[in-house]
Structure 1
Amino acid sequence: MPASATGATPAARKFGAGRRTRLILLGTSGGPPWWPGTDRAGVASAVAVGDRYYIVDAGHGVGRQARDAELGNWSHDTDGPLDALRAIFLTHLHSDHTIDLNNLLIEGLSNGLARVTSPVQVWGPGDRGTLPPRFGPPPDPPVTAPDNPTPGTAEMVDLMMRAYATDINDRVFDTRKPPPSTLVSGHDVPIPERYLADPNGNPHPRMSPVPFYEDDRVRVSATLVQHAPVFPALAFRFETDDGTIVFSGDTSPSENLVEMAQGADILVHEVMDRDWAEEIFPEPRDTSAEGRFQHLISAHTTIDEVGPIAEAAGVRTLVLNHLVPANWPEHKFHRAQKNFSGLVVVGRDLDEFGVGAVLG
């Protein structure tokens, strides 16, 4: 464990209570490591508008965190909290952002999903269409599922139902509850094809946000961000009658994101401490180590880069999420305030932020 590991996550906070539209950080840990010395849950957030909510990313522990956040029906053993869930949005298909999607969709049957009034839509990137470039020298690694190596979100949801068929059929035949396949639907975010033509291009193509989801509570747009070699990687903008919340997803500095976040009330942005990357790959680095170091930092936004991004976007509040490393002391992330004139908050699990006027 690094000498600077933090221990338990400090207590959650409520900023601007009493608002109809709220942001809740369900989990703030970035990356697939199970970071020693911290109890932060995997990256996931919720946008709640009145008595409904929407989940962004589904890192480890998202279901339990939704209950602990008192979303939906949290006081009954099996009627919630997913009874009030309306949609799930995945920024990209890395495992640390999707690993507990199965928890929501499969175990969800016993946690309120069977009580939804309309199918929960799952939105995320489509099939990239080709394998990523090889990093490092030959030989090539083996390809998993070579007949279908890069499924997108819609197909992933279908494959998940198939993988859990034994459990689903047993429980549906036993309880007569509806199968999850009738309660959820997977969708690929409709990024125009001209921006998807070169999945292995670097940098990502410049584009403006694309609206793709709307109901009577929220309007959601997406844009491509830079998380190579992952593609497509998305950022999301949620607009409600009360205000706007933007999620960066995993990205290095991106002009697309700056455009999407213009004037937002809250920008939820990933962050990585370059000092940690340098600790993992200390100098002097040979050619291989230098390549891996550059590979890591070029796919994320460092603490010193994130403040200027928020300033360029003119947002009011910058909330740091997807913290890497998740066991670093909070104070190490505070220098993100540099070159940003608004409020910076280093996110904690179950932090809550309000948008808009206080309800009377």
Structure 2
Amino acid sequence: MHVKLRNLLAGLLALIGQCLWFPAAAHAADGAVASAPPAAAAYRTSLVLLGTAGGRTSYNGSHLAGISSALVVDGDVYLVDFGEGWLRRYLQAGLGKMPGKPGLSSLRAAFITHLHADHVVDYPSLFLFGTTDGLVARKAPVRVFGPGPRGSLVPVAGANRGKVPVIHPEDPTPGTVAMTESIYKAFANDINDNIRDSQKPDPHTLVSVEDIRLPAGLVVHPDQDPAPDMQPFPVYQDEKVKVTAILVSHAPVYPSYAFRFDTADGAVVFSGDTSPSRNLIRLAQGADILVHEVIDTKWIDEFLPKPRNAAQEAKARHLLEAHTAVETVGGVAQASGVKTLVLSHLAPADSTESRWRRAQEGFSGRVVVGKDLMWLGVGAPVSVGKSQ
């Protein structure tokens, strides 16, 4: 390629790099994908949306996977949330074909925003299938960071306060570490069989799990204010990424986190589930990409038409108060000063793109409606301009 033409192309790509996205070969239907989209290979850092569906439902058999995202930095993968189908999507997206890193051996660390089922329902796949799907090829355990225990039960909504059962009263609000050990116990028959008969390793040696510790001195009242004003705090760092977190408002859930990943190519923030949050805006200041949950409030009336019974009214109230409306999310992105807003954790996941486009209201940057298996380059491409 002629030097001037090559340099011109490199410059143009650098200018629009943040706006490029590359769908994997089959984001609209299940199908194996051999590798990452070719255009994405130009980027050292990429955001990959594995699943974009929000909520504890399969949307009447929709092909969409549950909420899970990945940041790929120079061949290493950092996962956010373990929604339904994350492992299949991980492999379909080509993340299991990183050079020299087959299967899950490319996964370096994972982060759980909160412990609602739609964010962790397929978490057991990490260690139950991981021994077969590549974890044994890793030189060090995958590190998993997630919320600690709530500490007290969520207050009962409604009038029937004396008739509410408590599941597992010995430990009714476990954090990530305790949840993981309970999963090991539930699947002990299978795990012990796998260790003794197939000579597979103890999954404890493949996955290292930690409860996220909040900064010392921070006072939180989970039932009154589960996300008080605070500064972002460090969770994890290696030579490729620095991860910071902050509490966000997804009441009555506590703790519920947003995460920021700072890399040499730019910053990507994941909102987790939250209503409009000052803490999130603080965390996301100046980021290149904000991946934000969103809900179509008109859908709530379709999903739970009036008149509603008490249980339906409680659910509608949670959906309205604990999430961010599509008409509001643009203002959050604008206040954060981000370049690109990516909509994910879509509720409903099977809505039309035109309804999600209302997220542009109040936002001067670019809006991307997330789709399963979508890749987005972060920063400027690095492979263009090399000698050929």
Alignment of 1:151-162 (within 5 A): 151-162=174-185
| 1:115 Cα deviation from its structure 2 partner | 1.0
Contact 1:9 1:38 in 2 (8 A): no
CA contact (8 A) 1:158 1:186 kept: no
**8 Å Cα contact 2:226/2:253 also seen in 1:** no
**Residue in structure 1 matched with residue 138 of structure 2 by the alignment:** 116
1:235 aligns with 2:262: no
Give the deviation of 1:67 after TM superposition.
0.4
Q: Does 1:48 align with 2:72?
A: yes
Contact 1:225-1:256 at 8 Å conserved across structures: yes
| Counterpart Cα distance in 2 of 1:170 and 1:290 | 46
For the residues of structure 2 that align with 1:58 and 1:121, how far apart are their CA atoms?
A: 14
Rounded to whole Å, the distance in 2 between the matches of 1:16 and 1:284 is 51
**Matches of 2:348 and 2:150 in 1, distance apart?**
28
SS at match of 2:97: coil
Residues 39-85 of structure 1 show CA distances to partners (whole Å, capped at 9, x for unaligned) of 11000001111111011000011111010011133799xx8420111
**Which residue does 2:340 correspond to in 1?**
317
> Following superposition of structure 1 onto structure 2, how do residues 275-286 of structure 1 map, counting pairs within 5 Å?
275-283=298-306
What stretches of structure 1 of length at least 5 have no aligned partner?
A: 1-7
TM-score normalised according to structure 2 size: 0.85
In structure 2, what is the Cα distance between the partners aligned to 1:238 and 1:331?
A: 30
| Aligned counterpart, 1:88 | 110
Q: CA deviation at 1:174?
A: 2.3
Aligned residue in 2 for 1:38? 62
Of stretches 194-203 and 247-256 in structure 1, the one that deviates more from structure 2 is 194-203
TM-score (norm 1): 0.92
Aligned positions, number:
351
* Partner AA of 2:177 in structure 1: A
Aligned residue among 297, 319, 322 for 1:296: 319
| Root mean square deviation, CA, Å | 2.3
Amino acid at match of 1:62: W
Q: Report percent identity of matched pairs.
A: 48
**Quick check: 156-165 or 46-55, which moved more?**
156-165
Aligned match of 1:149: 172
| Paired residues for 1:209-358 under 5 Å | 209-283=232-306, 290-358=313-381
The structure 1 segments of at least 4 consecutive aligned residues displaced by more than 6 Å after TM superposition are: 11-16
Q: Does 1:73 align with 2:81?
A: no
C-alpha change, 1:31 and 1:196, in structure 2 (3 Å) is: farther
Q: Cα 1:274–1:9, aligned 2, differ >3 Å: closer, same or farther?
A: farther
Once structures 1 and 2 are overlaid, which stretch shifts more, 299-308 or 193-202?
Answer: 193-202
Cα drift, residue 38 of structure 1: 2.5
Q: Using a 3 Å threshold, how does the CA distance of structure 1 residues 28 and 274 change in structure 2: closer, same or farther?
A: same
> What is the CA deviation profile of residues 215-241 of structure 1, one whole-angstrom value per residue up to 9, with x for unaligned ones?
111110010001011110000000111
Equivalent position of 2:86 in the other structure: 62
CA shift digits 1:164-199 (9 cap, x unpaired): 211111112223232111111111111125445411
Query: How far has the Cα of 1:11 moved from its partner?
Result: 7.4
Q: Is the 8 A contact 1:9 1:39 kept in 2?
A: no
Q: Work out which of the residue numbers 211, 219, 222 in structure 2 matches 1:188.
A: 211
2:121 maps to what in 1? 99
In structure 1, the residue matched to 2:5 is none
- Cα distance, 1:31–1:292 mapped onto 2, change above 3 Å: closer
Q: State the match for 1:20 in structure 2.
A: 44
Shift in alpha-carbon separation, 1:51–1:74, aligned structure 2, 3 A: closer
The verdict on how the C-alpha distance between 1:37 and 1:275 changes in structure 2, with shifts beyond 3 A counting, is: farther
Amino acid in the other structure paired with 1:293: A
| Unmatched segments (≥5 aa) in structure 2 | 1-25, 31-35, 384-388
Is the 1:155–1:186 Cα contact (8 Å) retained in structure 2? no
The structure with more radius of gyration: 2
Measure how far apart 1:288 and its partner are. Answer: 6.9
Deviations 1:221-275 (A, max 9, x none): 0100010111100000001111100000000000000000000000000000000
